[in-house]
Amino acid sequence: MSATMLSIFSVFLLICAAFAASITPPSQDPWYEQPSNISDYVAGEMIRSRSVPPELESFLALPLNVSVKAVYQYLFRTTDSLGDAVASAVTLIEPYNSDPSKLVGYQAFYDSANIAAALNLGWWVFTTDYEGLNAEFTVGLQSGHAVLDSTRVVLDEGPSVGLSRNPRYALWGYSGGALASIWAAELQSSYAPELNYAGVAVGGTTPNTTSVLQTINTGSHAGLAFSATYGQSKAFPNLTNWLSESLVPSKSAQFYSIASGCLSQATSQGSGQDFFTYFKNGEASFNEDVPRSIHKWSGQMGLHGTPTAPMFVYKSTGDEISPVEDTDDLVKKYCGAGARIEYHRDLVGTHETEAISGSASALEWISDRLKGKAVESGCSTKNVLLSSLSAETVALLGEELFALLQAVLGGML
Ligand SMILES: *[C@@H]1O[C@H](CO)[C@@H](O)[C@H](O)[C@H]1NC(C)=O
Ligand SMILES: *[C@@H]1O[C@H](CO)[C@@H](O)[C@H](O)[C@H]1NC(C)=O
Ligand SMILES: *[C@@H]1O[C@H](CO)[C@@H](O)[C@H](O)[C@H]1NC(C)=O
Ligand SMILES: *[C@@H]1O[C@H](CO)[C@@H](O)[C@H](O)[C@H]1NC(C)=O
């Protein structure tokens, strides 16, 4: 294992440990309980709120100790993948010396250091529990709805704690967080037409979950296939049944053990596994009607609408989780339908390194959107190199984050 991989791996481990040690888990905290009259609430309506101690690392799994002025949580109504009313939670963070006219919805994955960068710039940040209370990992519809409804509740409730009445707001996410953000951007015009994002920045995109399964199988990320399949099965009763009928009985317990671990556990236990050997019909299992319908309905981007907000898309051409060609195709499809996209293909690095190295450009792009700077119409694609990190972006990131970046990227900078 290279030094770079080793340090990335320790960031993963750290995050798992932080989750394990965190305050009362949501499943045991009555604050998260979904009310029995959930369907009496409208989408995006607050169910309850609370203010929590402003120590981010205890619940955001940050590898940094970031002190902020205030942290609020809102439980709100959203819509699950079957169209039913469900509750989800969002955390709103006010940094010190904030600019209350700037708000970013950062959909966290394992790269939460970016939250710290956004806070550093004085932006208010909200981060959505986009998998919902059942941890429905990689479920596009539910994730997209949750991001849109969390934006609604933050815009409605934020002004009573100091956010502007009319802030500029943007979305940002990487990998699983990008999945939630892109689904939100696709669904926005039909589900939340009143929202007006200044921009949506997404990296490490996974446009096609079927293709992701094939790409990661037997590699170091094979564990994601277990978590994703399990996450999707929780959202769709027909997939729950299909999964229990299709798993090889002698391997079923091991499947669920890998699938239900936290991300770094799933990554280490699932590493190198041939995921398809867990299924009676091997890889062909995924061509059966039920998984095929779900992967298309809630795993394929580009079929539910065209984003109206301008987008910044960044992706390493060496991404080993989702082939860059899938993102090329998605961008082409959106652009053909009138989207405005600046697409950076990074010729250096992998899915993990891009999470960090691409964040500087994303941050700059979002910063321009929050200042109200107009985007050019249409689309542009640029091949970039890691070395395009300028002194200006380093200043933007702040020294502490830059040090983290260096630690993670090691000799690549
Ligand atoms: C749901 O029920 C609670 C408890 O009875 C009540 O306070 C609340 O107003 C109800 N919410 C809606 C939207 O009807
Ligand atoms: C984080 O920073 C705060 C304020 O500087 C400090 O009180 C706290 O002990 C720190 N926590 C950790 C885990 O380092
Ligand atoms: C998604 O990926 C699968 C597997 O590579 C492929 O068969 C399918 O055509 C792709 N779907 C789209 C819409 O590109
Ligand atoms: C499985 O359930 C989903 C959601 O209700 C539905 O869209 C899909 O068509 C179903 N698949 C099959 C094969 O019936």
Closest residue by Cα to residue 229 from 90, 27, 148, 216: 216
Ordered structural domains, the chain, with CATH = 3-207+307-412 (3.40.50.1820), 220-298 (1.10.260)
6 pLDDT higher than 60: no
Residue recorded with tokens 């949750």: 146
Q: What is the pLDDT of residue 21?
A: 44
Nearest 5 degrees, angle CA 177-CA 265-CA 350? Answer: 50
| 63 membership: H or E segment, kind and range | none
Residue recorded with tokens 């710290």: 116
pLDDT per residue over 71-93, tens digit each?
A: 999 999 999 999 999 999 999 99
Q: What is the pLDDT of residue 411?
A: 42
25 pLDDT higher than 60: yes
149 pLDDT higher than 50: yes
pLDDT range class, residue 163, cuts 50, 70, 90: very high
Q: Give the residue, 61 or 258, on which the prediction is more confident.
A: 258
- Give the phi and the psi of residue 5 in degrees, each rounded to 5: -60, -40
pLDDT above 90: percentage of residues in the chain: 61
pLDDT per residue over 339-388, tens digit each?
A: 999 999 999 888 887 887 788 889 889 999 999 999 988 999 999 886 45
Check: CB of residue 58 under 8 Å from CB of residue 23: yes
| Pairing mode, strands 102-107 and 124-128 | parallel
pLDDT range class, residue 249, cuts 50, 70, 90: very high
Check: CB of residue 106 under 8 Å from CB of residue 203: no
Q: Is 104 exposed, middle or buried (0-12, 13-18, 19+ CB in 10 A)?
A: buried
Q: Whose CA is nearest to atom 8 of ligand 2?
A: 65
pLDDT per residue over 105-116, tens digit each?
A: 998 754 456 787
Please report the atom of ligand 1 found closest to the CA of residue 37. Answer: 1
Q: What is the pLDDT of residue 14?
A: 39
Q: Is the torsion defined by CA of 153, 154, 158, 159 positive or negative?
A: negative
151 pLDDT higher than 70: yes
pLDDT above 70: percentage of residues in the chain: 81
pLDDT per residue over 173-215, tens digit each?
A: 988 889 999 999 999 999 999 999 999 999 999 999 999 999 9
Q: Whose CA is nearest to atom 1 of ligand 2?
A: 65
The residues with which 49 forms a beta bridge, in sequence order, are 74
pLDDT per residue over 30-41, tens digit each?
A: 999 999 999 999
Q: What is the pLDDT of residue 268?
A: 79
pTM over 0.85: yes
Q: What is the pLDDT of residue 340?
A: 98
Q: What is the pLDDT of residue 131?
A: 74
- How much is the CA Rg of the chain, to the nearest whole Å? 20
Residues 6 or more apart whose Cβ sits within 8 Å of residue 90: 73, 74, 76, 126, 127, 128, 129, 150, 153, 154
CB of 67 closer than 6 angstroms to any ligand 2 atom: yes
Q: Give the residue, 361 or 395, on which the prediction is more confident.
A: 361
2 pLDDT higher than 70: no
12 pLDDT higher than 70: no
Q: What is the pLDDT of residue 64?
A: 56
Sheet holding 311-316, edge to edge: 46-52, 70-79, 85-94, 124-128, 102-107, 168-174, 199-203, 311-316, 341-346, 379-384
Q: How far is the centre of ligand 3, averaged over its atoms, from the C-alpha of 300 (Å)? A: 8
Q: How far is the centre of ligand 1, averaged over its atoms, from the C-alpha of 37 (Å)? A: 6
Give me the DSSP letters along 323-390: -HHHHHHHHHHHHHTT--EEEEEESS--HHHHHHHTHHHHHHHHHHHHTTPPPPSSEEEEEE-GGG--
Q: What is the pLDDT of residue 60?
A: 56
Q: Is the torsion defined by CA of 21, 177, 355, 104 positive or negative?
A: negative
Q: Best of 59, 67, 400 to mutate for ligand 2, by most ligand atoms within 8 A of CB?
A: 67
pLDDT range class, residue 336, cuts 50, 70, 90: very high
Q: Whose CA is nearest to atom 5 of ligand 2?
A: 67
Q: What is the mean pLDDT of the chain?
A: 85
